[in-house]
Amino acid sequence: MQVTDPRILVVDFGGQYAHLIASRIRRLGALSEIVAVEDALEASRLPGVRGLVYSGGPASVYEEGAPRTPEELLTSGLPVLGICYGLQLIALQLGAEVHRSEIREYGAAMLSVLDCTGIFQGAAGSSRVWMSHGDSLASLPPGFVALGRTEDCPYAAIGHVQKKIYGLQFHPEVMGTDQGDLYLENFISLCGLAKSWKMDDYLERTIRELRDKYAEQRVFMLISGGVDSTVAFALLSRALPALHLRGLLIDTGFMRASEIENVVASFHELGIDLRVAHAARDFFSRLADVTDPEEKRTIIGREFLAVRERELEKMELNVQDWFLGQGTIYPDTIESGGTRHSHKIKTHHNRVDVVTEMIAAGRVVEPLRDLYKDEVRQVGRLLGLPEELIMRHPFPGPGLAIRCLCSAGEGEMAKEYPSGWEGLSTFVLPVKSVGVQGDARSYAHPLLLRTTGEFQLSDLCQKALRYCNENPLVNRVLLTLAERHSGVLPRLRRAFLTPERIEVLRRADRIVYEFLKENGLYAQIWQCPVVLCPLSQGHGEALILRPVVSLDAMTASPFLMDASHRLAIAAKLMTDANIDLVLYDLTGKPPGTIEWE
């Protein structure tokens, strides 16, 4: 990128969605660039800059040490859009008050537009927006007006039309905001950059940069068979000589049914011979007594690299001659706390300490590291990859290991929780899962719902969101679909990662996959993790279905499967004597992450 290239700067305050903002701006036809808070002032003076976006962030603006940009950026004459934390910082610097909200907002809310001007030009009077905040404005800065509000947030959107400074408490860059693209397109137009860039430009530049930087190097690529690593490998194969690129698929023992064979066959059709390393025994041995999700991910990530080194030795290749190739995309980095002010949500297997040390030493090649899933799929299409491969549901590198919850404890029972609705009983479950709330990590309990009345799934999802917003100890809500012993409260059981448990999960995962395909649901769902959870009514465990709709993995909404499909799939799963309960995850992201661990 040249300093004179017309572009919008996105100032990264450590928010989960900072790069997603940049991605959306690019997708809408304008070049964007991420800059750290500390570099924002100098970067804003470069000749190509046409506007500024302040991202969200996990800090509170009134806390000591919270990241801040110089106030003179707001008098530079550039259009400025503040999002979430960015809105609060702009307001604080221009004389308004920010305080802790009485009611937090995580997930969907209804925005009422008060003034269809500026970035709201052409907007509908009301629409759904996506919130993730615990702070809010208590007043407006001088000269600003309220442009929109929600039930719990009177200053959900503000603006100073003459100065072209706007602020949104919600996230326009995520799929959950219905008119988010319109708001961003209007801001891009204010910056004078409408339809000035396209993804083909990114692909051409990336291939050129890879050739310039790595043409004389050799890359040993770790491949999972998922969309990211496949597209990354195809991109590298376009840029590098064939003899300088090798691919390795590691059988960890945590792959789906027939996954190894299917991946090898898919790559063979692309003209690529893939080496397979069978290492299940090693992975199970390293994880035998591990229950903590972070420790699981770290061990798996390290073991990937250990297997890679052993395979290089078997092939009589010098480890030092080969760079590590990975299909890392931006959510992996941001959720691992990989930017200056971001919080760690969970350590991805491709961001463990050994990998970060290799990155610092310049020994890692990650051609997709700045992209989101939807952009990766765009690149795959431009590279000519088949659509059925590009549109596969995402599958995590650690595989079923992080969908098989473990526990060293035993016997703790679910506890009753006030539901507030007639015909609905709720219970706090004695397990925890990872969530993301206000750009920070949560590790909290799910609520279990049992219904005796008639409820629409959409109403239960709204109720679930309210439970999570009102209680910081809760970050997920589950609906009971089937149980082996009706009315018996589930209790925690002692359980670790074993081949037997993984096989139970693998069978269930296959049943779900085939059901979604047979009933025309697969293409409607972005991802459907199937989670084995050590909660028992007798001798079995709980199985959790987590179907979601998303675009980029940074936000997600629960898929509203109709009642007949829910009952049918639960009946199929309950034929396995190892399953006591089938539960349905009603939670969006936020407050829950897509994966449970």
Q: Which amino acid, one-letter code, is at 40?
A: A
Q: Hey, which residues does 480 pair with through a beta bridge? A: 583
State the Cα–Cα distance between residues 51 and 86, nearest whole angstrom.
14
Q: Does residue 84 carry a catalytic annotation?
A: yes
Of 19, 84, 153, 343, which residue is the catalytic one? 84
Torsion over CA: 564, 568, 569, 573 (sign): positive
The answer to whether 244 is a known catalytic residue is no
What lies within 8 Å, CB to CB, of 531 at 6+ separation is 403, 404, 405, 505, 543, 544, 546, 596
Distance in angstroms (rounded) separating the CA atoms of residues 361 and 345 = 25
Q: Specify the DSSP class assigned to residue 522.
A: G
In this structure, the dihedral spanned by the alpha carbons of residues 40, 44, 46 and 47, taken in order and rounded to 10 degrees, is: 160
Q: Tell me the three state secondary structure of residue 229.
A: helix
Residues in the chain: 597
Taking alpha carbons only, the member of 34, 67, 29 closest to residue 49 is 34
Q: Out of 19, 133, 171, 343, which one is annotated catalytic?
A: 171
**Would the CA dihedral through 486, 487, 493, 496 be positive or negative?**
positive
Where b means 16+ CB within 10 Å and e means fewer, 503-531 reads ebbbbbbebbbebbeeeebbeebbbbbbb
**Burial call 11-35: b when 16+ CB within 10 Å, e when fewer:** bbbbbbbbbbbbbbbbbbebbbbbb
| 173 flagged as catalytic | yes
**CA contacts within 13 A on the Cβ side of 458:** 1
* Residue 147, phi then psi, degrees to nearest 5: -100, -20
275-278 vs 245-251, strand pairing mode: parallel
Do residues 428 and 447 touch, judged by C-beta distance below 8 A? yes
Transcribe 133-156 into DSSP letters.
EEEEESSPPTT-EEEEEETTEEEE
On whether the CB atoms of residues 28 and 119 are closer than 8 A, the answer is no
Catalytically annotated residue among 105, 173, 259, 366? 173
Which residues have CB under 8 Å from 455's CB, separation 6+?
Answer: 423, 424
DSSP states of 282-335 as a string? HHHHHTTT---HHHHHHHHHHHHHHHHHHHHHHTT--GGGEEEE----HHHHHH
Nearest CA-CA partner of 406 in 319, 519, 297: 297
**Considering Cα of 56, then 57, then 61, then 67, what sign does the dihedral take?**
negative
Dihedral, 55, 60, 61, 62 alpha carbons, nearest 10: 180
So which residues are the catalytic ones?
Answer: 84, 171, 173
